[in-house]
Homo-oligomer: A and B are copies of this chain.
């Protein structure tokens, strides 16, 4: 049932039916083996094929867990756990990706009927990309601007039923489609990413996710005392998983390229004997070995991020928000760094396998196609790097005011010393001392941050 060697040759319809079959069989095995959610997650990841179940478990359920009230969780989670409803996560719109605050879909409170009216006022407000939406999902957590009495309270999440549980047809006012083929032969084409438009769709008031903010029967907007920063904890969690996945993807590519390099021979035979293994060429080593090292480094830093997530979560629950900005910068920066390096690294591994890397049978083209969207989703890498830069510059500018930097930026407290730092490395072996390497990085990072902050202070508009 989990066979995958035929994936590249299937047409879109067969590919998708194949995914349905695998998802159903995985669900059957999960129940038969009485797996817990962590074990089930592992099994689904071993199926190694993007499916609607990823988003149901990875975003729909967590959104309700994180943003739903106790009553909402009691009502919706059991249905979701038994897959009696299947959910997707409808956030991005055709015209709005990175800028969540710019979403256009509206949820207008109607006090007469105690309902929200969900509506897509423009073409650009069409929901675009939600995985599982195109053909499968019965429900969505949809994000929309909350409008009460003409006042805009910003973007909130709503549980909206999309399709009938009887005949699976879209409900009145719901228009759904599949957004079409994506990069690669199989890759994300096993997933039914969709487009969704709402034409004045009515849902009961209690389907707004109300853990953080509520709308009362009278149409009053109330913030709960649950700290809004909790949302960032979820973001740290999602990005920590992306970093862990980067290590897995890069390891697979490096493994393939290393084995190939050990088997493949080209040029340079001695006395008419066998040609040289390509792994023995310095040019091959200089490209392959740093990727091998990165795969390990990403694994270790992924483990550290997991610890960071737990640490931040504990602090948040104790109303300690002090480490949040630094944790946010670390996950944003590492998400960006590891996914960029992994996407480029998979393609480099493909090229390291010469012509054979271009064949789907090498595994590398599909690995690349299924991996690269990680550079864009959950925060575009360039946008995230700018956020890291902003955090570093802010850290520098606050040093004078006595704000003590924490965690990975703690070294900034020694900025004056670091600006004067001269390496006393004399021979190659000196670089084998971790503290020498660490201090060099700290000095370089401090100098670059200070220089950047000084340059930026010359401009009034940060985009200049």
Which A residues are closer than 8 A to B by beta carbons? 8-12, 14, 92, 95-99, 102, 128-129, 179-185, 188-189, 264-269, 275, 281-283, 287, 347, 350-351, 354-355, 357-361, 365, 368-369, 372-373, 375-377, 380-382, 386, 463-464
Contacts and interface: CB of A to CB of B under 8 A. Distances in A.
A243 B396 CA distance: 47
Given A97-B266, A275-B99, A358 B386 contact: no
B99 A266 contact: yes
B365 A369 contact: yes
Contacts of A377: 355
Contact of A354 (B281, B358, B380, B463): B380
A382 B288 CA distance: 13
B265 A181 contact: no
A99 B267 contact: yes
A303 B202 CA distance: 63
Contacts of A354: 97-98, 376, 380
B369 A355 contact: no
A375 B355 contact: no
A12 B12 CA distance: 11
Contacts of A188: 358
Given A99-B267, A99-B275, A102-B266, A92 B184 contact: no
A369 B377 CA distance: 21
Contacts of A97: 266, 354-355
Nearest to A353: B376
A9 B11 contact: yes
A350 B368 CA distance: 14
A397 to B, nearest CB: 21
Nearest to A357: B376
Nearest to A8: B181
A102 B272 CA distance: 10
A8 B358 CA distance: 18
A9 B368 CA distance: 19
Contacts of A98: 266-267, 354
Contacts of A264: 95
Contacts of A179: 359
Contacts of A351: 375-376, 381
Contact of A283 (B102, B182, B282, B386): B386
Most buried by B among A287, A347, A377: A347
18 contacts: A9-B12, A95-B265, A97-B355, A98-B266, A128-B355, A180-B360, A180-B361, A181-B359, A182-B358, A183-B365, A185-B185, A185-B189, A283-B386, A350-B372, A354-B376, A355-B373, A357-B376, A358-B376
Given A9-B12, A281-B463, A463-B282, A183 B267 contact: no
A253 to B, nearest CB: 14
Contact of A361 (B181, B268, B275, B283): B181
B282 A360 contact: no
Contact of A347 (B12, B96, B347): B347
A269 to B, nearest CB: 7
A189 B264 CA distance: 25
Contacts of A96: 266
A368 B187 CA distance: 15
Contacts of A360: 180-183
A22 B102 CA distance: 45
A182 B365 contact: yes
Contacts of A128: 355
A369 B376 CA distance: 19
Pick from A180, A264, A266 the residue with the most CB of B within 10 Å: A266
